[in-house]
A and B are shown apart, each in its own frame.
Chain A
Amino acid sequence: GQSLEQPSEVTAVEGAIVQINCTYQTSGFYGLSWYQQHDGGAPTFLSYNALDGLEETGRFSSFLSRSDSYGYLLLQELQMKDSASYFCAVRYSSASKIIFGSGTRLSIRP
Chain B
Amino acid sequence: GAVVSQHPSRVICKSGTSVKIECRSLDFQATTMFWYRQFPKQSLMLMATSNEGSKATYEQGVEKDKFLINHASLTLSTLTVTSAHPEDSSFYICSARPYSGANVLTFGAGSRLTVL
Query: Complex Cα distance A50/B102, Å?
Result: 12
Contact A100 B32 (CB under 8 A): no
Query: Complex Cα distance A101/B41, Å?
Result: 12
Contact A45 B106 (CB under 8 A): yes
Q: What is A's interface to B at a CB cutoff of 8 Å? A: 30-31, 33, 40-45, 48, 50, 87, 91, 95-103, 105
Interface residues of B, CB < 8 Å — how many? 23
Q: State which of B34, B43, B46, B108 has its C-beta within 8 Å of the C-beta of A102.
A: B43
Query: Complex Cα distance A87/B36, Å?
Result: 14
1/0 per residue B100-114: CB within 8 Å of A? 001111111110100
Some 9 contacts from A to B, beta carbons below 8 A apart, are A42-B6, A42-B108, A48-B104, A87-B43, A87-B44, A96-B97, A96-B105, A98-B105, A105-B41
* B residues 78-116 in Cβ contact with A at 8 Å: 93, 97, 102-110, 112
Contact A43 B44 (CB under 8 A): yes
Query: Complex Cα distance A102/B38, Å?
Result: 11
B42 at the interface (CB under 8 A from A): yes
Provide the residues of chain B in CB contact with A91, threshold 8 Å. Answer: 103
Provide the residues of chain A in CB contact with B45, threshold 8 Å. Answer: 100
